[in-house]
Amino acid sequence: MLSKICGLTRQEDVDEAARLGARFCGFIFHPKSPRSIAPEQAARLQSGSMQRVGVFVEQNAGEIARIMREARLDLAQLHGGQSVACARDVGAERVIRVLWPDRYMHRALLHNELQKYAETCAWYLLDAGLAGGGSGRRLEWQDLYGLRAPHPWLLAGGLNADNVERALKQCAPDGVDFNSGIEDAPGRKNLRKMAAAVRAAAQPKATGK
């Protein structure tokens, strides 16, 4: 099970994510977020073999490309409903497209959105709520059971060591995104909670497959 640790701002938290074998480390480039980080600060954080993900909300393709260069990013997580054209300019192979299942009354509508963005992303991230992220809210995991997405997808929304096994059993994503559920305060991860969450997600019995 792939793990992504998002909202990172401190080297000790990045180090722990790498030690635990997380696949992705995430940095938020949205000034209104309490977890926001400047590109030059993110660039100084050493991340080992993890793929570096930037979370973008209001930036256009040019700004995203600039920040990706400055912060040494591998992937752009489009968290603001950016257009297909924006994603194409960033590069489909570098895009994680965020969708909010709670926006759609029927599974077919969510499936249509997945198809809409399929040619301009490499991953999806399904988050709780109707917009934004990092709120600690959770999805109705069972509603995503059997979801057939064109690309691998990550589950986000209030995940922690206590609930991730249940989430995985109920909807079987390709990976999980931890953020607010493993923090002491926004941008300050609790290393014990992080370790427990990543280990719980890695247990074979938690995959539901």
Report CA-CA distances (Å) from 76 to 26, 54, 191.
9, 5, 25
Interatomic CA distance for residues 111 and 109, integer angstroms? 5
Interatomic CA distance for residues 120 and 87, integer angstroms? 6
Residues designated as active site: 6, 127
Q: Give the CB-side neighbour count of residue 80, counting CA atoms within 13 A.
A: 18
CA nearest neighbour of 129 among 172, 168, 158, 170: 158
Provide the pairing of β-strand 188-189 with 183-185. antiparallel
